[in-house]
Amino acid sequence: MYFHDNKARPRLITRSLDPENQESPMHFIPFLLTIPNTLFFRRNHFPYPILTPDAFSLKISGSVNNPFTIPYTDFLKLPAKSQKVLIECSGNKRAFFKEKVFGEQWENGALSEGVWKGVPLKHLLKYTGIGSGVKEVVFRGRDHGIKNNENRNFERSLPINKAVQTDVMIAYEYNGKPLSHKHGFPFRVIVPGWYGMASVKWLTEIILIENNFSGPFQTEDYVYHYKDGTSEPVTENHVNSTIQQPLDKQILKSGTHWIKGIAWTGSGRISKVEISFDNGQTWDSVKYENAPAKHHTVSWTYPKEFETGQEYHITIRATDSEGNIQPAEPVWNRKGYGYNASMQITIKVE
Amino acid sequence: MYFHDNKARPRLITRSLDPENQESPMHFIPFLLTIPNTLFFRRNHFPYPILTPDAFSLKISGSVNNPFTIPYTDFLKLPAKSQKVLIECSGNKRAFFKEKVFGEQWENGALSEGVWKGVPLKHLLKYTGIGSGVKEVVFRGRDHGIKNNENRNFERSLPINKAVQTDVMIAYEYNGKPLSHKHGFPFRVIVPGWYGMASVKWLTEIILIENNFSGPFQTEDYVYHYKDGTSEPVTENHVNSTIQQPLDKQILKSGTHWIKGIAWTGSGRISKVEISFDNGQTWDSVKYENAPAKHHTVSWTYPKEFETGQEYHITIRATDSEGNIQPAEPVWNRKGYGYNASMQITIKVE
């Protein structure tokens, strides 16, 4: 027998190359495991930064008692912890708004998860001390480019009370290996429960400030602008879910198929995942493949007998422990963030 | 400076893994060149066939005077020719039907092209002779699986008058290398001007028949079933075009941008490609990057000055030398083949 490697492999889905934006092939990879680094979604605002020797240290400055700069090799010696955390772009599912919005047309795959290892920011701030008037912590990424006719770095802030939560960390490993260059090497902030814009890559400096940060990625982008003229910042991941299999408009053979997917939330943990075959009139519960826990996805399955010649509408909706539930319709906002309407697919059985 | 490979590469877009169906990332690869084998779209009906030693020969049988079986190594010694040919799946753009149809939801990338080398079928049939009553030529692929509860090979036929056209060939090379396993090694039919289902991969046998072939991929699939109850077989590629850049719903900076894309047809050659910025009320001509020729794409460009704060609707439509023109609306058919409505995108300038 003549040997060929004929394995079919899922690939990233290219949304743009300059800067690089690519989706995870989320309908074809199990979330029960961690997402391999090569299939982790890529979302960039600027070209990949060049790492000069000074990139191998992290500076903490601003309103602190003891500003310091710590070299990469010393950083690795600090007490660290590992946690499985999902990161979801706030533009995930943007393509599904019926009233279209401009920007990268992400479908379901601007979401990945795996195990991050790093040092809680809280511990670092114990060394520096926190100035008494501090309101926010600014994270400066090394990536930069033209934004509003100025050369800007990617920078985001967190309120000080959020920044000192124990799960906010400065990560240097993903799935047991140093961060890859494309995903933030050497340092990346991880803010569990918040959309991905908060998890700044190529972190070069942490600056404590006594006012409100107003960089363009804080006050122009990543703001919900609603139809009624009000607005609010993008923060926590909305409760959400995705059907991974079958695919929308797929033709199936009759018999029993396992419907499967994931659910997640930024608030508390998933408390309920329901499935409907009658457009939401009646709901049944799905089976979890892993225990719902904070900040990572629940994989779920549901066996269903499909009959020849029929079409099926399958709707899924998740609820979290804070009482948030996926709406039937998304909340439209001008930049298309935070889509979390319940997902429906239609399949046909032949 | 620390070295990283940070090149952003386009990837195939996974539509299914079993069987493997993947789109070319057509918005991110130039068609002026040939599409690399690794980015050629993949469309399969069955698992990849295992190639046992008998796969290394090609049999011609049925209503012929001298049936024969020719080994692969002998086949390579026959007089051969090379031609640049596009192959487009008849389901290309299926996802764009507003009234949704079931099946793989191909967007723009079920289309690739490159240089095929092989032997004109006409020359092979000179060796075998053609029985006087021959109506069709059946091509049997080695790939097989369950279809209508039977184990079937993928098989398609051509009318004898089409089969003996000089450009119909049995190819064994793509872009100067032996066909890859995923694209039909060792032999693949190439039928320029017809949708891809005719270009049978893993060709194992050619059978001349005196009646009409009625295999399931001939009479069930690859048939246009129209709303009025009529039907007809899928054959030639419809005149078509795609805007590669910019992307639909993209946000651009003000200034001059080059709108670019491709156009193609199965009938004659492209004779006109027009662009409109007012929903088709007025049209302007684009510039060709290569001369329109039979059976491969024309790459076109159009420079446009975009002003801050504006939205632009960009429509493109192609006409061929047979007088076929892309319609404003697609011709809906139950299985979603042959979509060729003119393409419109909307962009915003900030």
End-to-end C-alpha distance for chain A, whole angstroms: 35
Q: Per-residue pLDDT for A164 more than 70?
A: yes
Nearest to A175, CA basis, from A37, A27, A3, A318: A37
Query: Among all chains, which residue has been given the structure tokens 């039979």?
Result: B294
CA distance A139 to A160: 12
Beta strands at A20-23 and A42-43: parallel, antiparallel or unpaired: antiparallel
End-to-end C-alpha distance for chain B, whole angstroms: 35
Cβ-based neighbour number of residue A122 at 10 Å: 15
Contact (Cβ atoms closer than 8 angstroms) between residue A130 and residue A179 = no
In this complex, the residue of B9, B17, B182 whose CB is nearest that of residue A10 is B17
Q: Is the ipTM of this complex over 0.95?
A: no
Does B17 contact A2 at a Cβ distance shorter than 8 Å?
Answer: no
CA distance B72 to B56: 5
pLDDT band at B1; cut points 50, 70, 90? very low
- Per-residue model confidence (pLDDT) at position B138: 98
- Say whether the peptide bond before residue B330 is cis (omega within 30 degrees of 0): no
Does B2 contact A53 at a Cβ distance shorter than 8 Å?
Answer: yes
Does B102 contact A347 at a Cβ distance shorter than 8 Å?
Answer: yes
- Per-residue model confidence (pLDDT) at position B196: 98
Beta strands at B203-209 and A81-88: parallel, antiparallel or unpaired: unpaired
Q: How far is B180 from chain A (nearest CA, A)?
A: 9
Average pLDDT over residues B136-154: 96
Nearest to B303, CA basis, from B318, B292, B314, B287: B287
CA distance B59 to A163: 71
pLDDT band at B4; cut points 50, 70, 90? low
Q: Which of B1, B6, B41, B94 to mutate to test the interface with A (most CBs of A within 10 A)?
A: B6
Does B51 contact A4 at a Cβ distance shorter than 8 Å?
Answer: yes
Does A27 contact B14 at a Cβ distance shorter than 8 Å?
Answer: yes
* Average pLDDT score over chain A: 96
CA distance A59 to A124: 11
Q: How far is B320 from chain A (nearest CA, A)?
A: 31
Q: How far is B269 from chain A (nearest CA, A)?
A: 31
Comparing alpha-carbon positions, the chain A residue that sits nearest to B348 is A102
Does B251 contact A103 at a Cβ distance shorter than 8 Å?
Answer: yes
> For residue B10, which residues of chain A lie inside 8 Å, CB to CB?
14, 17
Q: Per-residue pLDDT for B344 more than 80?
A: yes
Q: How far is A253 from chain B (nearest CA, A)?
A: 10
Task: Give tens-digit pLDDT for A79-124.
Answer: 999 999 999 999 999 999 999 999 999 999 999 999 999 999 999 9
Q: How far is A193 from chain B (nearest CA, A)?
A: 28
CA distance A261 to A26: 9
Task: Give tens-digit pLDDT for A301-340.
Answer: 999 999 999 999 999 999 999 999 999 999 999 999 999 9
Average pLDDT over residues B253-259: 96
- Per-residue model confidence (pLDDT) at position B52: 84
If residue B347 lies in a helix (H) or strand (E), which one and from where to where?
strand B343-349
> For residue A103, which residues of chain B lie inside 8 Å, CB to CB?
249, 251
* Long-range contacts of the stretch B57-61 (C-beta < 8 A, 24+): B58/B170, B58/B187, B58/B203, B58/B204, B58/B205, B58/B206, B59/B204, B59/B205, B59/B206, B60/B124, B60/B125, B60/B127, B60/B128, B60/B205, B60/B206, B60/B207, B60/B208, B61/B205, B61/B206, B61/B207, B61/B208
- Per-residue model confidence (pLDDT) at position B244: 97
Comparing alpha-carbon positions, the chain B residue that sits nearest to A47 is B6
Query: Among all chains, which residue has been given the structure tokens 């009139």?
Result: A281
Does A249 contact B12 at a Cβ distance shorter than 8 Å?
Answer: no
Query: Among all chains, which residue has been given the structure tokens 């000080």?
Result: A160
Does A102 contact B348 at a Cβ distance shorter than 8 Å?
Answer: yes
Q: How many CB pairs under 8 A join A and B?
A: 98
Task: Give tens-digit pLDDT for A229-255.
Answer: 999 999 999 999 999 999 999 999 999
Q: How far is B38 from chain A (nearest CA, A)?
A: 12
